[in-house]
Structure 1
Amino acid sequence: MKLNKIVCLAVLCSVGSRMTAQETYPFRNPQLSVEQRVNDLVSRLTLEEKVKQMLNSTPPIDRLGIPAYNWWNECLHGIGRTKYHVTVFPQAIGMAAAWNDALIKEVASSIADEGRAIYNDAQRKEDYSQYHALTYWTPNINIFRDPRWGRGQETYGEDPFLTSKIGESFVLGLQGDNPRYLKASACAKHYAVHSGPEKNRHSFNSDVSTYDLWDTYLPAFRTLVVDAKVSGVMCAYNAFQGQPCCGNDLLMQSILRDKWNFKGYVTSDCGAIDDIFNHHKTHPDAATAAADAVFHGTDLDCGQSAYLALVKAVKDGIITEKQIDVSVKRLFEIRFRLGLFDPVEEVDYARIPVSILECRKHQDLAKQLARESMVLLKNDQLLPLQKNKLKKVVVMGPNADCRESLLGNYNGQPSRMLTPLQAIRERLNGWAEVIYIEGVDHVDAVPENQLKEYMRQSKEADVAIFVGGISPRLEGEEMPVSKDGFDGGDRTTIALPAVQTQVMKALAAEHIPTVFVMMTGSALAIPWEAKNVPAILNAWYGGQYGGEAIADVLLGDYNPSGKLPVTFYAQDSDLPDFESYDMQGRTYRYFNGKALYPFGYGLSYTDFTYSSLNLPKVCHTTDKEVQVTVTVKNTGRLEGEEVVQLYISHPDKKILVPLTALKGFKRVHLRSGEAQRLTFSLSPEDLSCVDENGIRKVLPGTVRIQVGGSSPVPTLATPLKLVESTLKMIGNTHIIDK
């Protein structure tokens, strides 16, 4: 027994001595600069240790007292995939439908608070497993160029300006405003020309003109990198112009690192390094592929083994250890900026408790955002429903009582959530009988005898609420789904599944007033419903308060104010080939056809009028900004919110330009009869065009300014004449006046 005690004491003394030595290393000193600390730490690592720190799941370095760290975490619309109960906000496309960048910043800040609480608790428990870190691979700022892409639900829509504004606000909220520490680390993905198809994303090669690259695909990434100072970027699976994105000369070196001077870290998408040699086949093996990716600035391999070949690559002279050091230093700089090597008392964020999870403030934000995301597409005076006039209400449809369709993908789990059915029942308790008709699937046909039974149960209903659309079980990331209209996560048609139209036709034949509540992550073609169903509400995947927000809108407890962040086309023939990334004929900026519901569209229960649009008649191309003012008045009976949108077009330009382009928006709350004067400031970048060489220019000529509540038809419009002046700069880009 004595001997055991002596051995234990010796071990404890050894550990204590080692910890004391570790604490004296310069990298442990919070008073030194991050650069000094990173340099000291990396200088103490062996080549093998460095390489293992370049995988998403990093092992501990016990001799230096460095714990394990798994970089992979998600917070698309709340902390994702965690075992803790968390606040779940509307899916990203629903966030964008609120058109409220200030609210998104608050939401992202609350998400970061919950993430910190989870991390702090996990650290105390020595839980270093996946989905407990502070490096979040969010936001997804790819342009939703085609509604058939299953992951479009994760984006902020089809417009570069709206995506930039929402994405920037999310990054600023998530990363926080502490001058010393990041609250959390955001990551702009998937850089940069990436939006399906899912089934061949590991070998797909996207190619676009220089014009489309700079006009559509890069602006949001530039905003997040240059303006929002996002700390991470994720390169995409696919190749671009023949080179895999994670080893792409133009994207990774020329633009990201050189032109935009990005100093943060780059991670591959998960398995993308393996794709370089297994699927793109541009390199013969892991060693050459990994070395090329690191050379191009991909610092982290989200994968199991590809970057382990870097040890061989160094020994074979393919890449130098000094180049490995560049990436390892970038990775440790993020961890130092998060305060992960500093005493808890030094980092305010390190003291956020788990009691903040699902706190009242975060719940209120989730409820507000869910309400603001609701887009009323049609209302033939059926909504809002009057409780005192209802006796029997039928609720049916595949999403009526489906939790999954509220939660979207990359989601967490809340402790409380009401489905649309549950929320409607709660609101109508004591007012009306609510009959729930089960059995209608998203896609599978309804037998005729079953349909007759549904109609029998619906007899004498004052209203039928059909909660349909599609589901995250049908659209999403590389899914094993093969149903009519769906393939591998993407869609083969934008049409609403025929079975749902069949049921609504049957309700119409029985003369039952019907509300179609459409839950979806992408645009659906609903031409029959648009013509024949009296009320249509687009509810996206609304998060934990999505069901309650639907009930609030239907029963008049909230006046809808959301606007579409994507174009709702009328039919498949409106769309170009899915695999073409050419923007001609796509999105409201280049689509010449008639949309079923245009980008920016959304109705209210009240009316708004616009007047007194004022701006200079003439300005110089070098003016710092142009002031545009407009008055908006609520002329209806109810108070409500309006999203005021400003668009510009260049009608006399000989070069390729968008038909019209969003350049400003403001959300304003007005009481009945109240008016407010709003001011927009247009920068030179807002007034500029992109030429065929990708150069952004302010050109002399006429600019048409449009201000209204739903695009592309303006409520008010007026021309602005730009007159020629001297050479100017926008960011890193020359603006040429000729």
Structure 2
Amino acid sequence: MIHLLKVLVKKIAKQSNITVIPCLLIYFSLDRLLLYLIFLNFARDKQYVLGTISIINIMKPTNLLLFPIIILCSFTSVKEIPPYKNPALPVDERVKDLLGRMTIEEKFWQTYMMPGELDKGKDRFSHGIFGFQVSTIGTSNPELKQLLQYNPKLTAKEMAKKINEIQRYFVEETRLGIPIIAFDEALHGLIRGGATAFPQSIALAATFDTALVRQVSHAIAMETKTRGIRQILSPVVNLATDVRWGRTEETYGEDPYLSACMGVNFVRSFEEMGVITTPKHFAANSGDGGRDSNPIHFTERFLEETHLVPFKACFQKGQSQSVMTAYNMLDGTPCTANPWLLIDKLRNEWGFDGFTIADADAVGIIHKLHHTVNNFSEAGADAINGGLDVIFQTTYDEHRPFLQACLDGLVKEEALDRAVGQVLKAKFHLGLFEHPYIDENEAEKWNACSAHRKLALEAARRSIVLLKNENRVLPLSKQVKRIALIGQDAAQARLGGYSGPGVDKVSILDGLKNRLGDRAIIRYEEGCKRINPEYLTVPTYYLSTLDGLPGLEGRYFNNISYEGVPDLKRIDKRIQFSWTLFAPDSCLAVDWFSVEWNGKLKSPVSGTYRLGLEGNDGYQLTVDGKVLVDKPYKTSFGHTLVPFTFEKGKEYDIRIRFYENTKNARIRFVWDVDTKNEDQSIEQAVQAARESEIAIVVVGIEEGEFRDRGYLALPGRQEELIRRVAATGKTTVVVLIGGSAVVMSEWQDQVPAVLNAWYPGVEGGNAVADVLFGDYNPSGKLPITYPIHEAQLPLNYSHKPTGRSDDYLNLTGEPLFPFGHGLSYSEFDYSGLKVTKAVHGTAFHVTFSVKNTGKYAANEVVQLYLRDQVASVTQPIMRLIHFQPVSLAPRETKELHFTVNEKDLSMLDKELNRVIEPGDFRLMIGRSCKDIRLKTTLTINHPMTLETNH
């Protein structure tokens, strides 16, 4: 029998023209014989697989004659596997083989990512796709206010199941079986229902604890990967150099070194777990005035010294395998199609070997906003030819002009192959071809588990910054019996931008109740809202066309004089438009149109109220044939409301006219009906404070994407609320909720204590309560500078020397609170500074001692700054080069160590070579960049070149 088998194997091997080694493994089990044939294929271009042959009672003479037939039939199941599916081959060979099999359409789709899934028909994705942001709806929003809408209801297990189903289609039903990469946002927790929401990124930076950030990112990575998501569009490692920027909350602050340390430790956990990270937005996307994505004109030197530092560290130290480009232009070229940035710098100089993706709709913006190309097809070609690998658009239909650019040859063949090759390489490295599916039960096990919730509490505690504590008002006595808790944010538990809904969020009100139980009476009053507008948009409910349909009829003209036949007629439900980037319709010019709305307004009230328009001038409001508002000349943006006496139920004829002759059209039809008078609620809060021993006022800011702040004062009537409560004479503690700086000149001197809790995550309320009552000693430090006034901005501690003083005629140049600032319930003594040179190289060992002189256990963040005393190119007045958190028991002393290495001492010379120049360097050790406790000078005698600029 064995001889017969050998003959058959040799015959088949000869016919197949391959070399095989047959192995016969025989297992006897009662009356059953299992025969396994294994062919070890040493041919590099083919692989054959033969399954298991099961023969029942094969030893019986009657069945022995069937054996050759069974053997021959079994070879009909032998399948040839293409090299790209052979995991034994090098990834580059697999990529090359797969590229050679792909059509142009299949190649293009590997360069296209979008939100969505297969619910609208899977056949349209028969060519494959890079990947989906699953359970997300993308919109083509002309106002660009919200491009993506996330489904918060899908559980972790349901999402894992959905991703498996989608993956199964692409792996098993498309021609080449290329798996997708499911991607999502995970800035400080996966932006999904059922995921743990940790403190916001700026809060994590305030811990100055890279080990803690590593733990947090590991937890997020577990919750991410177990759902089947293999790429996150995080972290944000842009520098928050101007705190007016609405996305400051998403960053790790203003300092390049701190941001690099935090970014590296965040990405490492994901990359080690097989989830691709995507540092963003490359590069420098906060422009003049702190405005998001405004033009950037930075020099290469300035970029290398500041904004590029965290990105380079994430790629070279953190091994990030992707990067997202920014919306803004850099030196005249959009970042999304910038060869200097994406090819020369990123790939050639830094050695980046991952793939680049555009921000959502950023490729289209090359045409629509930057105007460097004529159409969307040219935009796609410009991007891919310029170094972009993946186009991220928000809808399926938007792919067409970009695909056409590939079909028409606008995209160079080598550029397309490069882009597709980088994507395929990533998919091979992730193991998606061999292991495309995940265990759906694992997602349920890890998402929002108790261990992650405990970690969220610890991170929240560590992030809280004690800004002010006069007369040691904090911690509060645990004997307090009556507390007034005031403010909208005390009950809301906001999580910040790019957050999921959170699971069982703990507000500060909840936290105080959890902490105090029945031992104290907590009286909560809202006081006022963060925003209480003095007027509102007139709702659709009160508007109707002449035909009785909801809204007003709009007649749009391609002129500014409302003349001729309208180019567009439509019913607009309400008049609230911000056509700041696009025209109202494709048939109109963005900078030359007019519109007239007509219809009826039905009054819901009787009495005198204000009615009017808000916009960038060029508007007119007529009611019952009488012109109430008329601002015909374009000058600025503002609002005009006039008193108008309404009768309840009466209908009024309305005509609104508006024209635009430049760009940035904005118009609203507004009134002050239904606005809330907060006088009574503020008085109730003040009365609650009078009747309590302690008043805790929780206030917050509004910020985020598309929400840069011109003013840094607390919005609404919150500052008035603080002053009124403080005026009662009761001890008043202010807790700040937000992700950026606020100015405090109107109230700071009236309160003894201020805590910055940032957006502290799902356990934030418990963390704040722990700090307020001394169960946790605050140790957070500011990763940004707080200005006294907006006029000081941008205000950064590590600026270059000025030609004159930092002061204004009527304002100091000093900050309100400096970078690195953060008080404790303890005090610390710094002593014993010693610096010794290493035996080899240019490194120096720095040792010193820190003593906790207080009665509370404490965590202190020790900060080491350096200043190059004399250099051939101007250097920062000081810069952070190391930091270290240290835990100290009461009265405990610890010796700490820093190593000042060659990189710390280096600079970019006039040719942008990284060098060390001979001379003196000032070392400064302290609790902040202003609170310096120890200083010394070290001297370098010989020059050294570390890197040359190629």
Place the TM-score, normalised by the shorter chain, in its bin. Answer: 0.7 to 0.9
> Which residue does 2:945 correspond to in 1?
728
Q: Distance in 2 between matches of 1:226 and 1:455?
A: 55
Residue identity (%): 34
Give the 3-state SS of the residue equivalent to 2:476 in structure 1.
coil
Q: 1:529 Cα deviation (Å)?
A: 3.6
Letter matched to residue 271 of structure 2: Q
> Which residue does 1:710 correspond to in 2?
928
Q: Runs of 5+ in structure 2 lacking a partner?
A: 1-73, 115-127, 130-169, 534-676, 807-812
Could you tell me the TM-score, scaled by structure 1's length?
A: 0.85
> Which residue does 1:599 correspond to in 2?
819
Q: 1:645 Cα deviation (Å)?
A: 0.5
Question: Are 2:95 and 1:38 equivalent residues in the alignment?
Answer: yes
Q: Distance in 1 between matches of 2:918 and 2:306?
A: 22
> Which residue does 1:12 correspond to in 2?
none
Q: Considering only aligned residues, what root-mean-square deviation do their CA atoms show, in Å? A: 2.6
Q: Specify whether residues 344 and 271 from structure 1 end up closer, same or farther in structure 2 by C-alpha distance, changes over 3 A only.
A: closer
Residues 211 and 692 in structure 1, CA contact (< 8 A), matched pair in contact too: no
Q: Distance in 2 between matches of 1:713 and 1:548?
A: 30
Match of 1:78 among 189, 193, 213: 189
Q: 1:63 Cα deviation (Å)?
A: 3.5
Give the 3-state SS of the residue equivalent to 1:527 in structure 2.
coil
Q: 1:656 Cα deviation (Å)?
A: 1.7
> Which residue does 1:289 correspond to in 2?
379
Question: Are 2:917 and 1:699 equivalent residues in the alignment?
Answer: yes
Give the 3-state SS of the residue equivalent to 1:257 in structure 2.
helix
> Which residue does 2:709 correspond to in 1?
491
Q: Distance in 1 between matches of 2:366 and 2:85?
A: 38
Q: 1:498 Cα deviation (Å)?
A: 6.1
Q: 1:573 Cα deviation (Å)?
A: 1.4
Residues 463 and 513 in structure 1, CA contact (< 8 A), matched pair in contact too: yes
> Which residue does 1:217 correspond to in 2?
307
Deviation readout 1:285-340 (Å, 9 max, x if unpaired): 22222122112221000014666445433444433333211111111221222221
> Which residue does 2:860 correspond to in 1?
642
Question: Are 2:419 and 1:327 equivalent residues in the alignment?
Answer: yes
Q: How does 1:171-570 map to 2 (within 5 A)?
A: 171-176=267-272, 182-196=273-287, 204-303=294-393, 304=395, 308-343=400-435, 352-380=442-470, 381-388=472-479, 390-403=480-493, 405=494, 407-444=495-532, 447-470=678-701, 474-478=702-706, 489-497=707-715, 499-570=717-788
Residues 287 and 306 in structure 1, CA contact (< 8 A), matched pair in contact too: no
Point out the structure with the larger helix share.
1
Q: 1:70 Cα deviation (Å)?
A: 5.6
Q: Distance in 2 between matches of 1:217 and 1:513?
A: 43
Q: 1:167 Cα deviation (Å)?
A: 0.3
Deviation readout 1:435-471 (Å, 9 max, x if unpaired): 000241113386444433322232231100101121x
Q: Specify whether residues 338 and 352 from structure 1 end up closer, same or farther in structure 2 by C-alpha distance, changes over 3 A only.
A: farther
Q: How does 1:125-140 map to 2 (within 5 A)?
A: 133-140=229-236
Deviation readout 1:54-85 (Å, 9 max, x if unpaired): 111354473436366365411100111x24x0
Q: Distance in 2 between matches of 1:683 and 1:647?
A: 13
Residues 254 and 796 in structure 2, CA contact (< 8 A), matched pair in contact too: no
Residues 105 and 169 in structure 1, CA contact (< 8 A), matched pair in contact too: yes
Residues 601 and 710 in structure 1, CA contact (< 8 A), matched pair in contact too: yes
Give the 3-state SS of the residue equivalent to 2:488 in structure 1.
coil
* Of 52-61 and 89-98, the range deviating more from structure 2: 52-61
Deviation readout 1:341-386 (Å, 9 max, x if unpaired): 11479x9x99944311122221222111111000001112111111
Q: How does 1:50-89 map to 2 (within 5 A)?
A: 50-57=107-114, 59=129, 60=170, 62-64=173-175, 66=177, 69=180, 71-80=182-191, 82-83=192-193, 85-89=194-198
Q: Specify whether residues 201 and 101 from structure 1 end up closer, same or farther in structure 2 by C-alpha distance, changes over 3 A only.
A: closer
Deviation readout 1:401-426 (Å, 9 max, x if unpaired): 113x2x11111233222100111122
Match of 1:115 among 221, 224, 227: 224
Q: Distance in 1 between matches of 2:445 and 2:287?
A: 40
Letter matched to residue 598 of structure 1: P
Larger radius of gyration: 2
> Which residue does 1:127 correspond to in 2?
none
Letter matched to residue 337 of structure 1: H
Residues 800 and 874 in structure 2, CA contact (< 8 A), matched pair in contact too: no
> Which residue does 1:158 correspond to in 2?
254
> Which residue does 1:99 correspond to in 2?
208
Give the 3-state SS of the residue equivalent to 1:430 in structure 2.
helix
Letter matched to residue 28 of structure 1: K
Give the 3-state SS of the residue equivalent to 1:38 in structure 2.
helix
Residues 641 and 669 in structure 1, CA contact (< 8 A), matched pair in contact too: yes
Residues 52 and 308 in structure 1, CA contact (< 8 A), matched pair in contact too: no
Q: Distance in 1 between matches of 2:874 and 2:253?
A: 22
Q: Specify whether residues 254 and 394 from structure 1 end up closer, same or farther in structure 2 by C-alpha distance, changes over 3 A only.
A: same
Residues 315 and 352 in structure 2, CA contact (< 8 A), matched pair in contact too: yes
* Of 52-61 and 509-518, the range deviating more from structure 2: 52-61
Q: 1:602 Cα deviation (Å)?
A: 0.4
Letter matched to residue 212 of structure 2: L
Q: Distance in 2 between matches of 1:492 and 1:21?
A: 69
* Of 537-546 and 423-432, the range deviating more from structure 2: 423-432
Match of 2:835 among 583, 590, 615: 615
Give the 3-state SS of the residue equivalent to 2:379 in structure 1.
helix
Give the 3-state SS of the residue equivalent to 1:40 in structure 2.
helix
Q: Distance in 2 between matches of 1:248 and 1:65?
A: 32
Residues 376 and 603 in structure 1, CA contact (< 8 A), matched pair in contact too: yes
Residues 244 and 291 in structure 2, CA contact (< 8 A), matched pair in contact too: no
Give the 3-state SS of the residue equivalent to 1:633 in structure 2.
strand
Give the 3-state SS of the residue equivalent to 1:165 in structure 2.
helix
Q: 1:23 Cα deviation (Å)?
A: 7.9
Letter matched to residue 105 of structure 1: R
Give the 3-state SS of the residue equivalent to 2:467 in structure 1.
strand
Q: Specify whether residues 232 and 350 from structure 1 end up closer, same or farther in structure 2 by C-alpha distance, changes over 3 A only.
A: farther
Residues 179 and 432 in structure 2, CA contact (< 8 A), matched pair in contact too: no
Q: 1:715 Cα deviation (Å)?
A: 0.7
Give the 3-state SS of the residue equivalent to 2:421 in structure 1.
helix
